[in-house]
Structure 1
Amino acid sequence: MKLTIHSSFQESISQQHLIILVDSEQLQNTETTYSIESLNTLIESTQYKAELNETLALINQTPVCSNSLILGLGKTAELQPAKLAKIAQTIIKASQKKFKQISVDISTLPEKLHYLFALNLTQASYAFDEYKSKKNEFILEQINLIAKTTPLASAQLSLIEAIQSGQNLARDLGNRPGNICFPEYLAEQALSLAAEYPDLLKVTVLDEQQISDLGMNAFLAVSQGSDRPGRIITLEYQAQRQEAPVVLVGKGITFDTGGISLKPGLGMDEMKYDMCGAASVLGAIRALCEAKLPLHVVGTIAAAENMPSAKATRPGDIVTTMSGQTVEILNTDAEGRLVLCDTLTYVKRFNPALVIDIATLTGACVVALGSVLTGLFTPDDELATELNAAGQTIFDRVWRMPVLEDYQEQLDSPFADIANIGGPKAGAVTAACFLQRFTRDYRWAHLDIAGTAWNSGANKGATGRPVPLLMQFLANRVNTNG
C-alpha cells in the first residue's frame, strides 16, 4: 500500500474516492471546505450526527469529487487510539473493491494520531486468500492523506510502508498451515529474503546434525518426535556494521500437538500459530531491509515441530542444554522454552547489545492479559521503558510482568538443575524465569505474545504483532543514537 501526504485534495487524480473525517461538533467546516451542496438539508433528512464511524454518502454533491463520503469521528477531543482501527476498517471496506486510489482528509484528526492512523489504514488492507479458489477483489493501491498541517513526513510514511510489508509477511506465515509452513519452509523463506536483499542480509541455517554437535539437546528433545527436522535459522542484517547487535530470537514451533503431553483436540488447528514469534522475526527483518535502518540486527529462529511418536520425548526425561544446565522435562507441551533456552545460549556468540525473545509461550499470559497487551518480562528497567514507549507510540502495547528470583524455586527439580514447568501458579512468570537462567550474560527481555499473535473466532487470523513494536523500538534506537 502506497501512502502519500498532501495539503489539499488532488483533483487531477480521476476515478478515486474522497473520505472526509469529521468532528461531530464541526460539521459546517466540511461544507465550507468542499463546497458541499445542501449539506444541512441532507443532515436533517438523514438525521446524521457524525458519531464515531457513522457514514454519510455524498454522490455528486461536491465539485471536487463525485464519489465522496463523510465519516464521523464523534468528538475528536475524546477520540481514543483504540478506535482508529475500526475507522480504518470502515474506509478500506468502502473502497477496496471499487477504487485504485482514495483520498482521506484527516485534517480534523488530532495530529498526534496521524502516524498511528496511517499505520491502521495499511493494517486494515490486509487479506489472506492464498488457499481460496475465489480471490478477494482488492484493487486499492494508494491512499492519499490530506492535512494542512501534520507531523507526517516522507520518512514516517516510508517506515509505515516497511512495517506494513513486514507485518504482512508475519501474518502470511502465521496463517499458512503446518503442512505448508514447517521448519525447512521457514529456512527457505529466510534464504529467499537474503536473495532479495543480498547487500543487507546474511543467512545461516543449522541442520539437526549441526544442532546436535553444538549440544543443543533441549531443542532436539522437541524436534525429535517429528519427521520434519528442526532448524536454527539466523538472519544477520547489516553484518558489516561494527556495533554490538540487537538480537531478536523467535519461537518457531510450526505445529504444536503438545507432544506426548497431548493437547485437547478442540481448537488444536490454531497451534499452527505457535510459530508466530519466528514469523515476527522474519517480518521485522523484512521491514528493516525495506526501511534500511542504519543499525546491526540479528534475527535467530528456533524452528521445530512438536509431535507425538515413538521417538518423542517422554515426561520425566532429562536433557543437557547447550549451556550445560540439565532440564527435567515434566511436560512436553512446555516445549517453547526448551527450543528457546538453547537458542538463547547460541546467540551469545554475537556479543549482543541486548536480546529480545518473542514467543507464543504460555496460556497463562492469555489468562492474565487477554488479547490486548503483550506480556513483557525483563529485569532491565531501562529496556522495559524503551519497549513500553515504543509500544505506546505504535499502539502495539506491552504490560510489564514480574521476573523475580522469588519465583525461581518453583522450577526446582530433585533430579536435574531445573524443571521445565513450575506448577499451576504464575505460569507465565515461571516460564520467563526459566528463560532467564539462560540469559544472565546479556541484557534481555521476553515478549509473551500468546494472546496477541492471532485472533480466534469469526475473525481468526494472525495479527503480525509484535512487528510494529519491534520496528518502532529499533527506529527509536536509531533516532536516539544517530
Structure 2
Amino acid sequence: MEFYLQQDASKLDEVSSVILPLVDATHSNDVLATDSLKNADTILNGAISNAIASGDLSGKFENSQLFLNSGPGPSRILVIGTGAPDKLSGRKYKKLVQTAWSKISANPGSSVLNLLTTADTTILDQHSKVRLSVEAIGQARYRFDQFKTTPKDKPPAPNMFLVAHADSQAQLKQSVATSKAMDLCRDLGNLPGNICTPSYLAEQGHKLAAASDKVITQVLEEAEMEALGMHSLLSVGKGSAEPSKLIVINYQGGEEGVQPHVLVGKGITFDSGGISIKPGAAMDEMKYDMCGAASVMGAMQAIINMDLKINVVAIVASAENMPSSTASKPGDIYTTMSGKTVEVLNTDAEGRLVLCDALTYAERFNPKTVVDVATLTGACIIALGHHTSAVMSNDDQFAASIMSAGKQAFDTAWQLPMGEEYQEQLDSNFADLGNIGGRSAGAITAACFLSRFAESFTWAHLDIAGTAWTSGTKKGSTGRCVPLLVQHIVNQA
C-alpha cells in the first residue's frame, strides 16, 4: 500500500472510497460539522443526516455505517464516530483507524481518502495522527502465512490519501519506513527456529548492506570470536549444532569520523534454557527470543530507507541455546571479552551472556550512545506487564530521552531504578560476578550485569520481554520496539 498526503479534504469524487470522522453530538452543535461530511451527505442524497436523525448512526466511538453510492463520486463512504475529543488518545485513535479499515478492506477500490487525520481530538497533533494511521493500517494488513499450503488472499492495497498539511511529509516518510521495518521485525520473529537461525540473521544483515552503498555488514564467525576472547557469547551456543554469529551492520550516513550511535540486539534464535531447561508449555514461543535482534535490524532498515544523516552501528549477538553433552553447565565459569569472569549459575540467563561481549565489542566504535534491546527477563513482565517496555541506564538524562522517544512513537518505555545496592546480588564466590542475582528485582539485576560491560559509554538497556510478542489465539510478533528505536535515532540526527 502506498500512502500520500492530500491537503484538500473536499475532493471526494476523485477516489473510490472515503472514510469520514463523526464527532459525538454532545460535543458539537452541528453533527455535520465539516464541509466533507456535508459534501458526502449531498452525494448520498441526505442518507447520512437521515441515518443520524433515525439514531442508526452517531458520533459515539467506533459507531459506524458504510454507505454505498451508485451515482457519481466515491462508491463507498464510511462514516465512523470518533467520540469525545478529550478522550481520543493515541491508543483509541489507532483502534479507530483499524476498525475503519476493517469496514472497507474487503473492497476499498483503487484509492481511499482517509479523513480520520482531521478527527477532533485535544490529545493528538496532526503528525501523531499521520504516524498512527500508517502504522495502524500496516499492522491490520500484516499477514504471516508463508508456511500455509492455502494462504489467505492478500488484502487489497489501494492508494491511501491522508488529509494533512504538507508539513507532515517528513512524518509520513518516517511512518512508512517504520511500518515496513515493523513488518520485517514481525517476519523475523514469527519465523520458526529451524528457519531463522543465527546464519539466517547473518543473511538478513548482508541483505541490508546490499540495499545501500552506505552500509557494510561484517559477520564474525566462531573462530574470530574465540580469537577476540568472546568466551561468554560462545558459551551459549556450545550445545547447538548451529554456529553462533556476531553480526555488525555499519551505516555511514553522517560525516566521516563522527561518533556513531550503536544499537545492540539479543539474537537467541531459540532458547530451550539449555541445561537449565524451560518447562515444555509454550516453549515454542522461545523462537521469539531473538526479537531484540529483529527490532534492531528493522530499525536499521528504516534508517537506511530514510537516508538519515547520521552514523549508526547495529550489533546482533546471535546463538541458539540448546541442551546437549557439549552445552554449558550451571557452575561453569567463562572469561568475557572484557576480561571479567562470569559464573553461569543458570544457563537460561543466556541473553546477558551474549550481550556482554557485544557491548564490549561496541567500544571499538567509540560510540556516542549505545542502546541494547533484549527479551531478557520474565521479571520485566511481572513489573510492567505486556504494554510497556523497561528502560535502565547509566545516565538518567539518556534514559529520559529514550522514554521521550517512546512517547513520541506511541511505543512506551518506563525507567526502572538501577542503584548500586542491586549490584551486590551479582556477587559470586568463584568469579567476578554471577549471571543471575536471585529472584527479587530480576529485571534490574539483569541490567546491572550488563552495566558492568557498559562503563565506558552512555548506555541504556531496553527489556522488551513483555512487549515483543503476544500469546494465545493472536500469537505473533508485535514489531516493537522498532518505532521507539527509529524515533530515538531520528531525534539524535
- Distance in 2 between the 1:374 and 1:152 partners? 31
What runs of 5+ residues in structure 1 fail to find an aligned partner? none
> How many angstroms does 1:151 deviate by?
7.2
Is the partner of 1:77 in helix, strand or coil? coil
Q: Of the candidates 325, 335, 345, which is equivalent to residue 360 of structure 2?
A: 345
Q: Of the candidates 30, 54, 75, which is equivalent to residue 66 of structure 1?
A: 75
Deviations 1:296-315 (CA, angstroms, capped at 9, x unpaired)? 00000001000000110000
> 2:38 matched to which residue of 1?
32
- Distance in 1 between the 2:106 and 2:152 partners? 8
> 1:155 matched to which residue of 2?
170
Deviations 1:353-384 (CA, angstroms, capped at 9, x unpaired)? 01000000000001110111100001212211
> How many angstroms does 1:12 deviate by?
6.0
- Distance in 2 between the 1:128 and 1:23 partners? 35
> How many angstroms does 1:44 deviate by?
3.7
> How many angstroms does 1:424 deviate by?
0.7
Q: Of the candidates 417, 431, 448, which is equivalent to residue 416 of structure 1?
A: 431
> How many angstroms does 1:9 deviate by?
4.6
> 2:251 matched to which residue of 1?
237
> 2:60 matched to which residue of 1?
51
Label 1:9 to 1:269 Cα distance change in 2 as closer, same or farther (>3 A). Answer: farther
Q: Of the candidates 224, 227, 237, which is equivalent to residue 238 of structure 2?
A: 224
Q: Of the candidates 98, 113, 122, which is equivalent to residue 103 of structure 1?
A: 113
Structure 1 runs, 4 residues or longer, greater than 3 Å off:
9-14, 44-47, 61-64
Deviations 1:315-354 (CA, angstroms, capped at 9, x unpaired)? 0101111111111000000000000001100110000001
- Distance in 2 between the 1:54 and 1:458 partners? 26
> How many angstroms does 1:172 deviate by?
0.5
Deviations 1:104-135 (CA, angstroms, capped at 9, x unpaired)? 11322436142332232333322222112233
Is the partner of 1:73 in helix, strand or coil? strand
Is the partner of 2:269 in helix, strand or coil? strand
Q: What is the percent sequence identity of the aligned residues? A: 45
Contact 2:14 2:74 in 1 (8 A): no
Q: Of the candidates 448, 451, 455, which is equivalent to residue 463 of structure 2?
A: 448
> 1:306 matched to which residue of 2?
321
In the alignment, is residue 202 of structure 1 matched against residue 212 of structure 2? Answer: no
Contact 2:12 2:18 in 1 (8 A): no
> 2:160 matched to which residue of 1?
143
Moved more, 159-168 or 412-421: 159-168
Q: Which amino acid in the other structure matches residue 142 of structure 1?
A: N
Contact 1:422 1:430 in 2 (8 A): yes
Q: Of the candidates 373, 380, 388, which is equivalent to residue 403 of structure 2?
A: 388
Q: Of the candidates 123, 129, 143, which is equivalent to residue 145 of structure 2?
A: 129
Is the partner of 1:259 in helix, strand or coil? coil
> How many angstroms does 1:46 deviate by?
4.8
Contact 2:78 2:100 in 1 (8 A): no
Is the partner of 1:29 in helix, strand or coil? coil
Q: Which amino acid in the other structure matches residue 178 of structure 2?
A: I
What runs of 5+ residues in structure 2 fail to find an aligned partner? none
> 2:99 matched to which residue of 1?
90
Label 1:401 to 1:94 Cα distance change in 2 as closer, same or farther (>3 A). Answer: same
Contact 2:189 2:287 in 1 (8 A): yes
Q: Which amino acid in the other structure matches residue 132 of structure 2?
A: F
Label 1:11 to 1:54 Cα distance change in 2 as closer, same or farther (>3 A). Answer: closer
Q: Which amino acid in the other structure matches residue 486 of structure 2?
A: M
Moved more, 399-408 or 4-13: 4-13
Label 1:53 to 1:241 Cα distance change in 2 as closer, same or farther (>3 A). Answer: farther
> How many angstroms does 1:67 deviate by?
0.6
> How many angstroms does 1:427 deviate by?
0.2
Q: How does 1:291-302 map to 2 (within 5 A)?
A: 291-302=306-317
Contact 1:97 1:140 in 2 (8 A): no
> 1:268 matched to which residue of 2?
283
Q: Which amino acid in the other structure matches residue 21 of structure 1?
A: P
> 1:120 matched to which residue of 2?
136
> How many angstroms does 1:164 deviate by?
1.1
> How many angstroms does 1:71 deviate by?
1.0
Is the partner of 1:153 in helix, strand or coil? helix
Moved more, 57-66 or 400-409: 57-66
- Distance in 2 between the 1:70 and 1:126 partners? 24
Deviations 1:48-79 (CA, angstroms, capped at 9, x unpaired)? 22221121111228853221111111112221
> How many angstroms does 1:97 deviate by?
3.2
Q: Of the candidates 439, 446, 453, which is equivalent to residue 431 of structure 1?
A: 446
Contact 2:12 2:113 in 1 (8 A): no
> How many angstroms does 1:268 deviate by?
0.4
The TM-score with structure 2 as length reference comes to 0.93
The TM-score with structure 1 as length reference comes to 0.95
Moved more, 233-242 or 33-42: 33-42
- Distance in 2 between the 1:126 and 1:152 partners? 28
Is the partner of 1:28 in helix, strand or coil? coil
- Distance in 1 between the 2:364 and 2:257 partners? 15
- Distance in 2 between the 1:267 and 1:167 partners? 24
Contact 2:252 2:310 in 1 (8 A): yes
Contact 1:5 1:152 in 2 (8 A): no
Contact 2:130 2:168 in 1 (8 A): no
Contact 1:95 1:140 in 2 (8 A): no
Contact 2:390 2:416 in 1 (8 A): yes
Is the partner of 2:343 in helix, strand or coil? strand
